[in-house]
Chain A
């Protein structure tokens, strides 16, 4: 209990930044936003505008477009997406540890080695299950 409270505390101390540090980022995002919106609004007014049924159709290499493009796709992509979410969350846990590596000393190292063990167990399970085999 105490240990987990400490860990959250460490995370808080290190990731808490002075709010002022972020003001320039807000300024930069405003400049970028103005540029992007300005270009997207004014650039289309410069070119010619012509339209007809054939011209406005999707371009599929000169062949008549057949049906809608929003059709079901291979389930493999969804498996990859779900695995990414799982493993990325685990990878995120390493970041606060890496920052506090020197402070947590040997105890922290042991804990993380055990955590890597869990990570690898899950990873090997996924490999053996064949979830990453693209073609059977």
Chain B
């Protein structure tokens, strides 16, 4: 890895870090403003114009609050819990492609920290270890409410992960790659060959399953079993104060931001937008990044809208929805997609010239296998 690339990546990482924190901070304000708007109130308006300095005031206040640790808590785990929650939340953004490549300083800069070819698996893995923060924090507090919250949260998150995983498989199956960059590039533009290119139009059921699961993974209403204020006070962070509580809240909003970004990348074309072929170079890159943020912002708004509209589920209803409805729906959707793609590729056709050639680039083993069958057939004749 040469020095230029290294510097480029470090700048990108620091920038992304700042953007994630800034967006998460302002999402707290946005949430209160949206709530106020939906409930016909004004919302925070004292700190700065339209309350724009409210996140800074909140953050500053949290820093100067007393850092409280209950006497009979497990001190080490109590401290490490919020750290894990925050750390994993901030690392998820690494594999998301934020826009087309940008040309600057004579270099072709990819707006993605790491284009690993297991991109979506990386996100799934980090979002499932994120539950450890809640679980460890809730257990270490030695508070009954926190413990209930921790158990509920982990059980809910693992249940919805199954349906979410299967919904992602259908997308992977259609784009043939786990890399988010390739999944987004496969949805180039908006309209191609008489049909929409975005995965949403090809996978509406998969999208609905994925969206519901994302909301559940985010522990947000109507799935906010983990911190239902009216039953469990605030759940896993009941005993927390100061920046430790701040970390839990922050992690939640960072997850909301990243979750919405993943939804728009997987199903709504990421940085692709209609008529993008009329632009090129840096104009395209900037418009692409804007398009991506507009989509992400839209999904953040929808998730907030849901929170202030729907009442909370009961726990058995939540488990019933996850296991008995979403998993069968996504499995059936996966099978139908596989058969439909196979049919479209002409695998069922008896006419050999209709068949698509196997994608050979990455398939050296398959090539060997075909050679093998060829040899066998020559021997037979």
Which of A36, A70, A81: most chain B CB closer than 10 A? A36
**A32 and B358 form a contact (CB under 8 A):** no
Report how far A87 CA is from B238 CA in the complex, Å. Answer: 33
| B161 contacts chain A at the CB level, 8 A cutoff | yes
Binding-face segment, B6-14, B211-219, B256-264, B279-287: B6-14
Taking the nearest CB of chain B, how far is it from the CB of A68, in angstroms?
7
Q: Which residue in A17, A47, A81, A103 is a CB contact (below 8 Å) of B116?
A: A17
- Min CB distance, B317 to chain A, in Å? 9
* Cβ of B151 under 8 Å from chain A: yes
Contact, CB under 8 Å: B169 / A132: no
Q: Are A59 and B155 in contact (CB under 8 A)?
A: no
A59 lies within 8 A of B338 (CB):
no
State in angstroms the CA–CA spacing of A81 and B154 once bound together.
Answer: 9
Distance (whole angstroms) from the CB of A118 to the closest CB of chain B? 12
Contact indicator B324/A28 (Cβ below 8 Å): no
B145 adjacent to A29 (CB under 8 Å): no
Q: How many residues of B contact A (CB 8 A)?
A: 98
Interface residues of A in 87-136 (CB under 8 A from B): 87-88, 91-92, 94-95, 98-106, 109, 112-113, 116, 119-120, 123, 127, 132, 134-135
On whether the beta carbons of B9 and A73 are closer than 8 Å, the reply is no
Chain B residues in 8 Å Cβ range of A43: 63, 67, 242-244
Of B30-38, B44-52, B85-93, B292-300, which binds chain A?
Answer: B85-93
Q: Pick the most buried of A13, A22, A88, A95: most chain B CB atoms within 10 A of its CB.
A: A95
Decide: A40 near B143, CB < 8 A? Known: A47-B64, A77-B155: no
In the complex, A15 has a CB within 8 A of chain B:
yes
* Majority secondary structure, B binding face: helix
**In the complex, residue of chain B having the shortest beta-carbon distance to the beta carbon of A126:** B323
Question: Is the Cβ of A112 less than 8 Å from the Cβ of B320?
Answer: no
Q: Determine, out of B101-109, B170-178, B201-209, B221-229, the stretch whose residues face the partner at the interface.
A: B170-178
Is residue A1 contacting chain B, with contact meaning CB distance below 8 A? no
> Which single residue of chain B is at the shortest CB-CB distance from A45?
B67
Q: A28-B94, A77-B155, A91-B165 are in contact. Are A40 and B243 (CB under 8 A)?
A: yes
Cβ–Cβ contact B320 & A132, under 8 A: yes
Q: Which residues of B sit under 8 angstroms from A17, Cβ to Cβ?
A: 116-118
Q: Which residue in A33, A95, A135 is a CB contact (below 8 Å) of B178?
A: A95
Which of A22, A53, A60, A100 counts the most chain B CB atoms within 10 A? A100
Q: Is the CB of B118 within 8 A of A15?
A: yes
Is the beta-carbon distance between B331 and A116 smaller than 8 angstroms? Answer: yes
Inter-chain CA distance A56–B338, complex, in Å, is 58
A20 touches B1 (CB 8 A): yes
Whether A102 contacts B176 in the complex (CB less than 8 A), given A46-B64, A60-B143, comes out as yes
Partner of B70, one of A6, A31, A58, A98: A58
Q: How far is the CB of B159 from chain A (nearest CB, A)?
A: 6
Which A residues lie within 8 Å of B242 (CB)?
43-44, 47
If the complex has contacts A57-B71, A106-B347, A123-B328, are A27 and B366 also in contact, measured as CB distance less than 8 A? no
- Asked if B302 CB lies within 8 Å of chain A CBs, one says no
Residue of B nearest to A85 (CB): B158
Residues from chain B with Cβ under 8 Å of A92 in the complex:
165
Q: Closest Cβ of chain A: how far from B231's Cβ, in Å?
A: 11
The residue that A9 contacts in the complex, of B12, B315, B365, with Cβ under 8 A, is B365
Contact A40 B331 (CB under 8 A): no
Beta-carbon contact of A23 and B66 below 8 Å: no
If A77-B151, A81-B155 touch, does A22 touch B114 (CB 8 Å cutoff)? Answer: yes
Closest to B88 in A: A32
Supplied contacts A17-B116, A31-B13, A32-B87, 11 more A-B pairs, CB within 8 Å: A2-B372, A13-B362, A24-B9, A31-B14, A57-B70, A60-B144, A80-B155, A84-B162, A116-B334, A123-B327, A123-B331
A-B contact pairs, 27 of them (CB 8 A): A13-B362, A13-B365, A14-B117, A21-B114, A22-B114, A23-B114, A24-B12, A31-B14, A32-B17, A39-B243, A43-B67, A47-B66, A59-B238, A60-B144, A70-B142, A77-B155, A88-B161, A88-B162, A100-B363, A102-B345, A104-B366, A109-B338, A113-B338, A116-B331, A123-B331, A132-B320, A132-B324
Taking Cβ atoms with an 8 Å cutoff, the residues of A that contact B are 2, 6, 9-10, 13-15, 17, 20-25, 27-29, 31-33, 35-37, 39-40, 43-44, 46-50, 53, 56-61, 68-70, 73, 77, 80-81, 84, 87-88, 91-92, 94-95, 98-106, 109, 112-113, 116, 119-120, 123, 127, 132, 134-135
The 8 closest A-B pairs by CB, nearest first: A134-B316, A44-B67, A56-B71, A43-B243, A9-B365, A98-B172, A98-B173, A24-B114
